[in-house]
């Protein structure tokens, strides 16, 4: 995430330039700052609680006087709280992605009122996302690092969200289940998340998606059976299912597997 104007204002309010706040995905950047003797502070100023904790952590690490930290918090936190209350999210959500900001987005959704059940990220668990993991899990939300597509899809089936936020195959699977879905990279992570601007940035798109459930039901009913299973694709005449071909191919795969095993191949 590129620092926004709101992020710079938060930082400037503490009048400290010696501390680097780096997104947890950029581990190489973290190593460089640490090698240079700079302090790296985890998480980000996202939502009310995240901004409060981040300001305190930045100020403490930089040796800023507590009254100045409190002044910055008193300036920004009421505005963030007001923005969250003005832009509520009323939906059950599963969320997954590979950008590295999934936990931050989940925090913002929860503070907006969303019922987030699952957060999956392709990134590993590191100390830089620990505050976010602890905050989410304290609210009973399942957080999965190095999440596989199978785990993301299992969460989709288990929680049956009103809106699924995820990668392309997750979005596709959700829509096949008549669940409105949003692509994380293009529609969510590209939005401002930090500070006051971030507090109200997700409600419109998420609520609009949730409101489209009726359209998915209508389309599923109208197109029922079209393009599914053996009929997937474009055909000039109605295709026939050929189970004998499937069985023949299955035997062929088993035969190849046995041959590889006998030859000592992995």
Task: Please indicate, yes or no, whether residues 96 and 190 belong to a single structural domain of this protein.
Answer: yes
Per-residue pLDDT at 13:
59
Task: Please indicate, yes or no, whether residues 126 and 201 belong to a single structural domain of this protein.
Answer: yes
Which of 32, 59, 84 is the last residue in one of the domains?
A: 84
pLDDT tens sequence across 109-127: 999 999 999 999 999 998 8
Q: What is the pTM of this model?
A: 0.76
Query: What confidence category does residue 172 fall into, taking pLDDT thresholds of 50, 70 and 90?
Result: very high
**Is residue 227 domain-resident?**
no
**What is the extent of the structural domain holding 254?**
232-262
Per-residue pLDDT at 9:
61
Number of domains in the chain: 3
Task: Please indicate, yes or no, whether residues 95 and 183 belong to a single structural domain of this protein.
Answer: yes
Task: Please indicate, yes or no, whether residues 105 and 214 belong to a single structural domain of this protein.
Answer: yes
Query: What confidence category does residue 17 fall into, taking pLDDT thresholds of 50, 70 and 90?
Result: very low
pLDDT tens sequence across 31-71: 888 888 888 888 999 999 999 999 999 899 888 899 999 99
Paired residues of 194 in beta bridges: 46
How far is the C-alpha of 203 from the C-alpha of 216, rounded, in Å? 20
**Helical H segments across the chain, by residue range:** 5-13, 27-35, 47-62, 66-86, 102-111, 130-137, 149-159, 168-176, 195-199, 203-210, 213-222, 243-262
Radius of gyration of the chain (CA): 23
Task: Please indicate, yes or no, whether residues 93 and 212 belong to a single structural domain of this protein.
Answer: yes
Question: For residue 25, is pLDDT > 70?
Answer: no
Which of 84, 114, 142 is the last residue in one of the domains?
A: 84
pLDDT, mean over the chain? 85
Per-residue pLDDT at 1:
43
Per-residue pLDDT at 230:
63
Which of 43, 61, 84 is the last residue in one of the domains?
A: 84
Task: Please indicate, yes or no, whether residues 95 and 147 belong to a single structural domain of this protein.
Answer: yes
């Amino acid at each position: 995430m590129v620092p926004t104007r709101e992020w710079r204002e938060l930082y400037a309010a503490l009048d400290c330039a010696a501390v680097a706040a780096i997104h947890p995905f950029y581990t190489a950047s973290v190593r460089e700052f640490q090698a240079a003797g700079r302090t790296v502070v985890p998480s980000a100023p996202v939502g009310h609680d995240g901004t409060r904790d981040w300001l305190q952590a930045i100020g403490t690490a930089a040796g800023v006087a507590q009254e100045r930290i409190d002044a910055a918090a008193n300036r920004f936190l009421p505005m963030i709280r007001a923005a969250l209350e003005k832009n509520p999210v009323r939906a059950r959500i599963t969320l997954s992605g590979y950008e590295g900001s999934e936990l931050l987005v989940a925090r913002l959704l929860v503070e907006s009122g969303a019922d987030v059940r699952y957060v999956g990220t392709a990134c590993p668990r590191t100390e830089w996302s620990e505050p976010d993991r602890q905050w989410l899990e304290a609210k009973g939300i399942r957080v999965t690092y190095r999440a596989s597509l199978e785990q993301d899809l299992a969460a989709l089936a288990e929680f049956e969200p009103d809106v699924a936020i995820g990668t392309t195959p997750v979005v596709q699977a959700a829509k096949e289940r008549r669940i409105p879905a949003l692509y994380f990279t293009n529609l969510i992570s590209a939005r401002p998340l930090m500070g006051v601007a971030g507090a109200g940035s997700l409600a419109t798109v998420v609520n609009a998606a949730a409101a489209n459930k009726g359209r998915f039901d209508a389309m599923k009913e109208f197109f029922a059976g079209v393009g599914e299973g053996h009929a997937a694709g474009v055909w000039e005449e109605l295709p026939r299912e050929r189970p004998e071909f499937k069985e023949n191919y299955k035997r062929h795969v088993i035969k190849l597997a046995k041959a590889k095993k006998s030859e000592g191949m992995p």
